[in-house]
Amino acid sequence: MQFPLEGLKVLDFSRVLAGPFAGRMLSDLGADVVKIEPPEGDVTRYWGKVIAHLPGYYHQQNAGKRNICIDLRHPDAKALVNALVAEADILIENYRPDVMGRLGIGYEDLRAINPKLIMLSISGFGHDGPESRRAAYAPVIHSEAGLIYRSHQEASLQQTDPHFQDLPLSVADTNASLHGLIGVLSAVILRNQTGLGQHIDIAMIDATIATDDKMHYDLEASGETGPMRNEIYSLAFSSVLISTDFRLLFKLLIDHGHLTDPSPKDASLEDKIRLRRGAVYQLLQAQTTEAEFDTLMRSINVAWGTVRNPSSIRQQATVAHRGSIVDIDDRAGGVRPITQSPYRFSNAKSGVRGPAPHRGEHNDEVLRQWLALPEGKITALADQGVVLSDANDRAKNP
C-alpha cells in the first residue's frame, strides 16, 4: 500500500499551529513536507518537554517533516525560495497578510514562477477585510467569534464559576487548518482538470464560525429551543458526563422502570424539578462501579463518558485499540509519545513518519534532491548566511 499524497511537494512557511498542523497532516498522508524556518526559529521550540533539543509542542506539530532554515531577509534568499517554489505543488503560510508580499514572495510573485502552485494562507481575519493586518492567535478568535462568551453564559446557567476564560485548546487554529486542508486538496483535484493552481485565503474567524454548530441559536436568538446542557455527575467510581437533556434522561428512566415519579401531580414546577433531580441523583449514586453504571445507561440507550485526565488518555479503550497515541524515535536513544494520524484507509497508508526535524537539519539533503545543487553551491549559501542550521550553531557555541 502507498500513501495517498505520495509525490506531492509542500513548502511549509508557517509557524505555531494553524499552518504547521496542516503540514503535519499532509506529511502523515505521504507528502514531502519541507518546513522553511526562520533563523530565530518557530516560537513553539520554547514549549514542552525537551528531548534531543526538540520541545514537545514543536515536535507534535512538525513530526515527519524535513527542515530548511532560510534567512528571508538576506538579499539572496528570494532566489533560493523561487527555485524551491518552481518545484513545489503546495505552499502553506500563516503570516499576517502583508508579510509574504513585502518579502517579494506573495502569491502573484510565486504564480509567475509556478502557475500550478497551490498556496494556502491562514490568517486571523483574512486577506481583504478591515482587520486583515490585525494580529491574531486562537484565543483572540475564540473571543471575537463568541466562544468565550457562550462558554461563560452556559457556566453561569449551571451556577459554576462565572468569570470569562479561554478554551483549553486552540480550536480556532485547528479548525482553520482542517478547512485549509479541504481547500488544498480540492485545489489539487481542480488543478488536474485545469492545470492551474490557486491561492486559498482561510480566515480563522470564518472557519470558527462555519464549524460552530450552535451559531444558529445566537443568530436567531433561539437559545431556549436547544437541548439542555450535558450534565456531569461525581459518582463512586469516577465523574461522568451524561450526554442527554435531563428531561429526557428522567423520562427514559421512568419508561424503563428504573424510577417512579417522586413528585405529586399538584406539585409546583420548582418542587417537581427538585424532587425529580433528587431521585435521579440517588439512582446514579447507587451505581457503585463503572460496569453497573454502564449497564444502566445501555438499558436506556444513553451515551456517557468518563471525565478523564488527559494524562491517562492512552488507557482509554478505543485509543489503545486504534493506536491513537504512538511511540516514535526521540532521537536520544529512546521513544516519545505522539498523536497519530486519524486517517484510516482500506487500501492506503497514513501515519506519522518520523520525529520532528532540527532547524536547518535538511538543508543539504533538500537542496540536492529538489534543486540538484552541487555541494559547493550549498556550502556557499551556508557561508553567506542564506541558510542556517542548529548543528552549525551548536558547533560554534557548544
Q: State residue 24 phi and psi, 5-degree precision.
A: -60, -45
Residues 118-133: pLDDT tens digits?
Answer: 999 999 999 999 999 9
The CA-atom distances, in angstroms, between 215 and each of 70, 226, 320 are 42, 11, 34
Report the relative pairing of strands 325-329 and 335-339 from DSSP bridges.
antiparallel
Q: Quick check: is 76 catalytic?
A: no
pLDDT along the chain (398 residues), means of 10: 96 97 98 97 95 97 98 95 98 94 94 98 94 93 94 73 84 97 98 97 97 94 87 95 95 97 94 96 96 97 96 96 97 97 96 97 97 96 95 66
Long-range pairs for 108-112: beta carbons < 8 A, 24 or more residues apart: 110/82, 110/85, 111/197, 111/199
Q: How many whole angstroms from its chain centre is CA 273?
A: 40
How far is residue 7's CA from residue 29's CA, in Å, rounded to a whole number? Answer: 11
E runs forming strands in the chain: 9-12, 32-37, 50-51, 54-55, 66-70, 90-93, 118-123, 198-203, 231-234, 239-242, 304-306, 325-329, 335-339, 387-388
Q: What is the pLDDT of residue 76?
A: 95
How far is residue 20's CA from residue 92's CA, in Å, rounded to a whole number? Answer: 8
Domain with CATH 3.40.50.10540 in the chain: 9-214+323-396
* C-beta separation of 341 from 28 below 8 A: yes
Report the relative pairing of strands 198-203 and 231-234 from DSSP bridges.
unpaired
Q: What is the pLDDT of residue 164?
A: 86
Q: What is the pLDDT of residue 118?
A: 98
Residues 258-289: pLDDT tens digits?
Answer: 999 999 999 999 999 999 999 999 999 999 99
* C-beta separation of 66 from 27 below 8 A: no
Runs of H (alpha helix) within 136-268: 138-144, 147-157, 171-194, 204-210, 215-219, 246-255
Residue 288 is placed in which grid cell? Answer: 457503585
Q: List, in sequence order, every residue forming a beta bridge with 304; answer none if it has no partner.
A: 242
- Kindly state the helix (H) or strand (E) to which residue 284 belongs, with its residue range: helix 269-285
- Kindly state the helix (H) or strand (E) to which residue 69 belongs, with its residue range: strand 66-70
Q: What is the pLDDT of residue 159?
A: 60
Q: What is the pLDDT of residue 155?
A: 74
* C-beta separation of 267 from 275 below 8 A: yes
Catalytic member of 28, 173, 364, 390: 173
Residue 310 is placed in which grid cell? Answer: 488527559
Fold assignment, 9-214+323-396: Rossmann fold (3.40.50)
* C-beta separation of 34 from 27 below 8 A: no
How far the first Cα of the chain sits from its last, in Å, is: 44
Number of helices (H), then strands (E), belonging to the chain: the values are 17, 14
